[in-house]
Amino acid sequence: MPIINRIADFHEQMTAWRRDLHAHPELALQEIRTSGVVVEKLREFGVDEIVTGIAKTGVVGVIHGQSGKGGRAIGLRADMDALPIEEETGVEYASVNPGVMHACGHDGHTTMLLGAAKYLAETRNFDGTVYVIFQPAEENLAGGRIMVEEGLFERFPMQQVFGMHNWPSVPEGKFVWREGPMMAAVANIEITVTGKGSHGAHPNDGIDPIVVASQIVTALQTIVSRGIEPTEGGVVTIGHINGGHIYNVIPETVRMLGTARWFKPEVGDKLESGVRRLATGIAESFGAKAEVVFDRAYPATVNDAEATQMTLAAARAVAGEQRVEAMANPTMGGEDFAFMLQAKQGSYIMLGGARDPNEPRVHHPRYDFNDAILPIGASYWATLAEQLLARRDS
């Protein structure tokens, strides 16, 4: 069973939904219009129940199969939020909200799950229950964690939960999977170096935090290269540095922001202790002071082996054996579906969207979700549900 014909029938409709969502992007936990659109569509599809207000703007749709309530249940999750990026695609349905953009394809994720919900509510060719989970705030604010904390799995008891992300570096329509760690754990780093301000012509009167910060940035590069087992993955990146205002003034403080990524908890511990030790030690050796915040934001996204096999069967049915490929290495990107996978058996899969090899990647101001994959993703969701909740009488 490749792309489901009935879903292919509403490809044009799904494209219109996706472009409407794209034009009206909303930041994490502010997905008011977006979740309103989701609720309106789920109502129109005739799903059995719609629950709103979980993790503020989150929505869960409940779709029972032929046998009604009871029996097995699974959750299918899509994210809804956009990013604080100024869009440069130039498409006619570009963002109308300045500085906010669907640059990660969550407009496409929401649409693919809506497409599946429409089909599942119409055909009900399964036994048990499908929960369609529309999650807010995947970017930075951990909507996935909030949903779990607000009782997602207690209020909607399910055996497995599944996630999917479009991936613009993989050819259009190809699925990429991985068992075990797939995406990295993430910590946000904030380092504030406090020295002593002075006239730029009289550096001896002060303690220059810019010089201290420079030494820290350089030293941080050795944490992974010298401190972590070479075959393990790890990243420490400083992405922002800010201090001073003018040519000839040594400022009092410098603030740096960065990110750390890893898979194994012991690597995360080493990155944290390395950042703390080097920043505070170097600052102290110059007579300055460094304050370090190492905020562990997302755990690693780890796919369950059994659940991954379930996703493979569905992906192969939709895309064909040749277009389902194991991922050679996990990615250092982070994903808050990790919180759902910590609480529930499940797996996360990537769906390729590349029209050409130079396609701008996610989080790029010229990235745009590829509408050609909408029926593929929606068919994957529907097939996964029909396979896992197969009717006993069929």
Q: Which residues bind Zn ion (CB under 5 A)?
A: 104
Shortest spacing between CB 362 and Zn ion, in angstroms? 5
Of 61 and 168, CB closest to Zn ion:
168
Of 103 and 378, CB closest to Zn ion:
103
Tokens 């304050």 belong to residue: 291
CA 13: distance to chain centroid?
25
Alpha-carbon gap, residue 299 to 142, rounded angstroms: 10
Handedness of CA 359, 360, 361, 366 (dihedral sign): negative
Of 84 and 287, CB closest to Zn ion:
84
DSSP string, 259-282: EEEESSHHHHHHHHHHHHHHHHHH
Of 110 and 280, CB closest to Zn ion:
110
Shortest spacing between CB 334 and Zn ion, in angstroms? 9
Alpha-carbon gap, residue 261 to 338, rounded angstroms: 14
DSSP string, 17-60: HHHHHHHS---TT--HHHHHHHHHHHHHHT-SEEEEEETTTEEE
Of 104 and 315, CB closest to Zn ion:
104
Shortest spacing between CB 146 and Zn ion, in angstroms? 17
Contact 225, 280 (CB under 8 A): no
Alpha-carbon gap, residue 333 to 331, rounded angstroms: 5
Shortest spacing between CB 323 and Zn ion, in angstroms? 22
Shortest spacing between CB 69 and Zn ion, in angstroms? 33
Shortest spacing between CB 139 and Zn ion, in angstroms? 5
Shortest spacing between CB 106 and Zn ion, in angstroms? 6
Of 78 and 282, CB closest to Zn ion:
78
Pairing of strands 160-171, 73-79: parallel
Dihedrals φ, ψ of 180, to 5°? 80, -150
Shortest spacing between CB 363 and Zn ion, in angstroms? 6
**DSSP code, position 162:** E
The residue count of the chain comes to 394
* Position closest to Zn ion via CB: 104
Of 127 and 336, CB closest to Zn ion:
336
Report which of 394, 392, 393, 389 is spatially closest to residue 160, judged by C-alpha positions. 389
Tokens 């991922």 belong to residue: 327
Shortest spacing between CB 105 and Zn ion, in angstroms? 6
Alpha-carbon gap, residue 116 to 351, rounded angstroms: 15
Of 107 and 208, CB closest to Zn ion:
107
Of 313 and 327, CB closest to Zn ion:
327
Q: Between 106-123 and 32-45, two packed helices, what is the crossing angle to 10 degrees? A: 20
CA dihedral 171, 174, 179, 180 (to 10 degrees): 40
Beta-strand (E) ranges in 331-386?
A: 346-354
The helix (H) or strand (E) run that includes residue 52 is: strand 49-54
Which two three-digit tokens encode residue 310? 């379930």
Of 331 and 383, CB closest to Zn ion:
331
Shortest spacing between CB 385 and Zn ion, in angstroms? 22
Which two three-digit tokens encode residue 370? 């590829």
